[in-house]
Amino acid sequence: MNIRDLFTKPIDRPINGVIKADQRDAESIWQELDEYVVTKQLTEYFRRFFDAFLAAADNPRDAVLSARMAVWVSGFFGSGKSHFIKILSYLLENIEAVNPADGTTKRAVAFFDEHKIKDAMLLADVQRAVQGSSDVILFNIDAKADSKDERDVILQVFLRVFNEKLGYSGDAPHVAEMERHLVSRGAYETFKAAFAEQNASSWDAERDAVDFLRDDVVHALAKALKQSEESAAAWFDNARESYRINIEGLARLLRDYLDSKPAGHRIVFLVDEVGQFIGNNTQLMLNLQTIAEQLGSLCQGRAWVIVTSQEDIDAAIGEANKTRSQDFSKIQGRFHTRLSLASSNTDEVIGARLLAKTEAAHVALRDRFEKKGDIINNQLAFVGNSVTMKSYKDAAEFVACYPFAPYQFTLLQKIFESIRKVGATGKHLSKGERSLLDAFQSAAVRNADRGIDALVPLYDFYPSIESFIDSTAKRSIDEAPGNGALEPYDADLLKAMFLIRYIPDIVKPNIDNLATLCVNEIDADKLALKRRIQESLARLERQRLISRNGDLWFFLTNEERDVAREIGHVEVSANEKWRLLSELIYDDLLGGQTKVRHKLTRADYEFNRLLDGAPWKNATHPLSLEIATPLGDDYELLSEAGCILRSSEAGGRALIRTAEGDRLDIELSLYLQIEKYIDSPKASTAAASLRRILSDRKDENRERRRRILAQLGDLMLGGDVYALGQKLQIKAASPRTLLDELVNYLIANTYTKLPYLKQRQTDPIAEIKAVLASATIGQQGLGLDGEEGNPLAIKELRDYLQLKASAERVLLSDVVDRFTGIPWGWKPEWEVVLLVARLFMAGEIKLMCEGDDLDPKSAGDPLTRSLRFKQVSILKKKIPQPESLKRARDLYKDMFAKISREDADGLVADYRAALGDWQGDLKGYGQTASARHHPGKGVIDAAIARIGKQVAIRDAFEFIETLLSEKSDWLDTSEDIHDVVSFYKTQLPTWRKLLEALSGFADNRDVLQRNEVSASALTDLEAIRDHSAPYSQIPRIEVESLKKNTSNCSPTTKNSATTPPCGSSSTWMMV
């Protein structure tokens, strides 16, 4: 049994698959009515329409119901909406159809019996609705319009078709108005007879050329209206310019016409493709709204408007609103009845009209499915698609759909709509001159002589629309048979790829799905078919007839081929590919990550990023990660031994050698070529068609980038991992997890002294401040050897500073760099600074900033601001020996007669304080000592100089050692200072009395010299005055006795022999 033998009606019989509003020949009318299938969906839509139609008829005074006189019929391309309104026109007019086979006649409603409409109530309503009289006007608005550019084009079309329906002129509304006037005067027939007599031709034949027949028309008018020819000529000449009509005028015209008819008479306008005609033209949408509104208001439900559109009314209004905000609420109210034809309706129609099977076919096909149902459904299985791409659910569906697959009904609808939307077809397809019924019939006829093991491949649907496809879109298909580099099968595959070119979201054009679309036998070897398709795709790609995006393949139009050719000529350097690959891996795949958090310490460690041996961006860190890809020059040389060697270089290095990537180089190159082409000057000035192609290629490139990223992730996870000269086994779910695990291994095994820093601070900066705020330098030393003080880390730092800082200054920044690097890795850097602060407060080091010593208070800012680390110098303190400290404490006691602190810094601080006190005292007495006959000036100057030199020594060790080396000098100085200070504090008044007395004795010096005792006393006092260190002799001074002695020596008696000599031993007293 062949396919053509399966059907109840000949598969190749003439079927009017495309319904046209103006096609009204007897054969078409009969077939359309006879074969019309009232599906379940159409039954519902007929019910909704006739409910509204009869409600308005039954309630003419109900303003609400009578205003609902408009119907919006929507549906995808080829869904049968034009057929639906045409059937409505037949029914409402109750047209009489003639059977072309035998000449019998039949009213339209008679075709709709209980077999076609199973709902008895609906059938009764249909029969009742067609009983009244109606004027039914069916037309395609695009065919009737002169131009879309006119603001009132919809008004003019409605007026034209109404005039034509009444037999008046459609092209010239002023002529139609003249005809209407003649009718109202009862003079129309007289006019036509007079015109025919004058012109020798009928008025109906000549009225479209009325401008050329002025005299004949004027003559006929004058005779019909019994006017002079002058009056008739004046009226006629002014008619065109004076004639004006608006939408309200049209509504009044229709109302007047309806009023002249019997009660219940209606006029019905059925307007095909209104939605496409209006598009996003706001003004046209408003005109349609106003017409519906005026007809509803003035004609009281007797004038109906039924329109079709690709989109439902809400979508159409939304499209119009994109360009200008308007209120379309009224049009939604007028078009209250909205019918949307869906895919199930089309499937049912095709099944009923085309695929109805004979009893024998039912038996044969059911038997075939029962034996091979699993094989059939496997052949029709798709990869990565939604459930809409269905195969047969059971034997009944196989019988109903065969030779087609269930998915093909939905797929063809999407294909037709997508081709129409992108403009790949000429005007015929876009205007609905192809239908799904016609496409399925053509494909079935093409396979009619094949057996019932055959399946219809997708490319067999191509011829049904081939003649309507734009030449630029199909040129490559037309030229394929003559291309010597191609094989015959390549042209069929190219046709299939063209059909699915614009629906990749419905069916992804990969090899598996192409094989499913092109399978043509139930028992076909699908693996062999895939190989055949793969070879065909390779040939087509070489000829640039298709393009590849990952595992997807796309048909290229002629212009797309030119673009693909130019893209292929764009040069891309190896460095550009390296930069893109680095960006994809490190910035996109790994999220721009430059540091990894160590799992145990929670510290962040930065690492260098390298790709194929070259650094990506900054590379200044101790740790390094290199990723070796198939694009690298030495990828093939990186055997396991080579990778182990590479990962052991320069310490702290890890290596990921990715798996080999199929087409990675090609994909990267094509990505860059497309990006560079899109950014080229030519693209910036591209025409609209080229911009669409470039937009598609940009979308394609976005998908390519995502695919490359996914591939790179797989290559990383499937590669080999090395670190520090070892091959590792790391199982990771994602590249970022792999990075985290690998760098954590690198941290733990590169920073071997990381465990020395056992105790870590939650807030190390706050801890640094707390350490510096402790009471005294030296107290921190008590805790350095405990666990809290990280003794191993302290020892590392101490040993380093002992070696380096003992001989030279070491910058804090250098210390931080050292101990955050290999092999320590103490991070964050504040942990290292905290160790330095503890050594500082323990008194083991001293800190300087820009030449000045730091104390705990002043150290806070530079130690907690990383920008100042380079300003801070560290010097290792020499620790005095305990014996030296004891000797220094003893010397302090000897010098100052008090007890000092025991630690070196405390002892030095005590020395500084005591020496400072001395220095203050001495400076205070210096000016006095400079006066004549005042002792100690030399001692004071010498002592101040010695003290200044000593306190200038900053280092505690040097301070103490200098003191001890000059111990005897300091003891002598101490005694001198004690004498001087004691003198000026306690003996100065006595000294000044001495000086005063000696000054007074100067006048009696000769007298005193004559007396042995007085002379001796005077000599002793002057000796004390002139002594450099008279301090011990001060107690011997008795000025008052000498004064008394002097007063006893009177000038009047000093030569008398009887007067006792002055200054006798009896009156001189020495204390």
Taking alpha carbons only, the member of 901, 914, 776 closest to residue 840 is 776
Burial of 105 per CB tally in 10 Å (0-12, 13-18, 19+):
exposed
Tell me which H or E stretch contains 1008: helix 1005-1010
Domains of the chain: 15-152+254-343 (3.40.50.300), 166-245 (no CATH), 357-568 (no CATH), 574-723 (no CATH), 751-876 (no CATH), 900-1071 (no CATH)
Cα-to-chain-centroid distance, residue 154: 46
Range 458-483 burial, b when 16+ CB lie within 10 A, else e: bbbbbebbeebbbeebbebbeebeee
Is the bond preceding 828 in cis, omega lying within 30 degrees of 0? Answer: yes
Distance CA 464, CA 426 (A): 14
Q: How confident is the model at residue 364 (pLDDT cuts 50, 70, 90)?
A: very high
Break the chain down into helix, strand, coil percent, rounded to 5: 60, 10, 30
Q: How far apart are CA 643 and CA 656, in angstroms?
A: 9
Query: What is the average per-residue pLDDT within 1008-1022?
Result: 73
Give the per-residue pLDDT at 1066. 33
Is residue 934's pLDDT more than 90? no
* pLDDT tens digits, 102-121: 989 999 999 999 989 999 99
Give dist(CA 951, CA 918) in Å, integer: 12
pLDDT for position 438: 87
Per-residue pLDDT for 866 more than 60?
yes
Query: 469 or 963: whose pLDDT is higher?
Result: 963
What percent of the chain is predicted at pLDDT more than 90? 57
Amino acid 494: pLDDT: 96
> Tokens at residue 953, please?
């020594």
For residues 939-946, average pLDDT:
89
**Digit-coded pLDDT (tens) for 504-543:** 888 999 999 999 999 999 999 999 999 999 999 999 999 9
Using one digit for the tens of pLDDT, what is the confidence trace for 560-591?
Answer: 888 988 998 999 999 999 999 999 999 999 99
Q: Given this model, what pLDDT does residue 82 score? A: 87
pLDDT band at 312; cut points 50, 70, 90: low
Q: What does 929-962 look like in DSSP terms, one character per residue?
A: HTSTT---HHHHHHHHHHHHHHHT---HHHHHHH
* pLDDT band at residue 928 using 50, 70 and 90 as cut-offs: confident
Could you tell me the two tokens for 994? 């001495």
Cβ contacts of 173 within 8 Å, gap of 6 or more: 156, 159, 160, 163, 243, 245
Helices (H) and strands (E) in the chain, counts: 49, 20
Are 555 and 497 in contact by the 8 Å Cβ rule? The answer is: yes
Mean pLDDT of all residues in 8-15: 90
Which tens digit of pLDDT belongs to each residue from 634-691? 999 999 999 999 999 878 999 999 999 888 999 999 999 999 999 988 877 878 888 8
**SS3 of 278, please?**
helix
Distances (CA, A) of 787 to 76, 774, 791, 844, 899: 80, 19, 6, 19, 35
The answer to whether 809 and 870 have CB atoms below 8 angstroms apart is no
- The reported pLDDT for the residue numbered 996 is 74
Residue 461 to residue 444: CA distance in whole angstroms? 9
Percentage of the chain modeled with pLDDT above 70: 90
pLDDT tens digits along 801-843: 988 877 778 999 999 999 999 999 999 999 999 999 999 988 7
Of the two residues 1056 and 159, the one the predictor is more confident about is 159
DSSP bridge partners of 604: 597
pLDDT at 1039: 56
- Cis bond upstream, residue 823 (ω within 30): yes
Instruction: Give the pLDDT of residue 158.
Output: 96
Q: What is the pLDDT of residue 427?
A: 45
Angle at CA 929, nearest 5°, toward 928 and 930? 90
Q: Give the H or E element holding residue 338.
A: strand 337-341
Phi and psi angles of residue 1062, each rounded to the nearest 5 degrees, phi first? -70, 150
Amino acid found at 374:
D
Please indicate whether residue 16 or residue 901 has the higher confidence score (pLDDT): 901
Asked if pLDDT for residue 1013 goes beyond 80, the answer is: no
Task: Please indicate whether residue 496 or residue 925 has the higher confidence score (pLDDT).
Answer: 496
* Residue partners of 19: CB distance under 8 A and separation at least 6: 32, 80, 82, 83, 86, 435
pLDDT in tens, 877-920: 777 888 999 999 999 999 999 999 988 878 988 999 999 999 88
| DSSP assigned state of 270 | E
Task: Give pLDDT, residue 314.
Answer: 63
pTM: 0.63
Kindly give the pairing relationship between strand 653-657 and strand 720-723. antiparallel
pLDDT of residue 1065: 37
CA dist., res. 1007 & res. 1010, Å (int):
5
Closest CA to 46 of 71, 20, 21, 78: 71
Q: Which H helix or E strand runs over 440?
A: helix 436-446
Is residue 593 over pLDDT 90?
A: yes
- Which of 413-417, 692-696, 1007-1011 is predicted most confidently? 692-696
The span from the first CA to the last CA of the chain, in angstroms, equals 163
Q: Read off the amino acid at residue 157.
A: V
pLDDT tens figures, 750-759: 999 999 999 8
Mean pLDDT of the chain: 86
Q: Greatest CA separation found in the chain?
A: 202
